[in-house]
Amino acid sequence: MSVNLGFAQASNDFLIAALLIYSLAVLAFAGGSIAILDHVHGWVTKLAIAVVVCTWSWIAWQRWRTGRRITRVTAALIIVATLLTATSASWPLIEPAAFHALGIVKKKAVRASE
């Protein structure tokens, strides 16, 4: 059986192969992205902490200046951002326990000179 794509016909085998290759390309991209994120975790976490602290300061200053309470949505969003940032900052402490619980063994980095 073939599929008419308007400009050409493709067999089911070709479509399955194309889908498989596309899926592998997406997985490779995702893996590379995660590897890059692992290397930038430190400075991105510091940036997130700075943003959360500045946001809390801005909210406090606005509340003091106007005398109005913050909305529930604003409070909920900044609390979620604070919890996520705290989790990210504590990841080096959480990582061994999380990996052990999931049965993941993280190999130690090998120096290039060895």
Give pLDDT tens digits for 35-91: 777 777 788 888 889 999 999 999 898 889 888 888 888 889 999 999 999 988 888
- Residue 79 is predicted with a pLDDT of 92
As a whole number of angstroms, the distance between CA 89 and CA 49 comes to 8
Give pLDDT tens digits for 94-108: 888 888 888 887 777
Domain range spanning residue 71?
41-114
Evaluate if pTM is beyond 0.75.
no
Q: Are 20 and 54 part of one and the same domain?
A: no
Q: Are 35 and 54 part of one and the same domain?
A: no
Q: Are 17 and 58 part of one and the same domain?
A: no
As a whole number of angstroms, the distance between CA 33 and CA 100 comes to 23
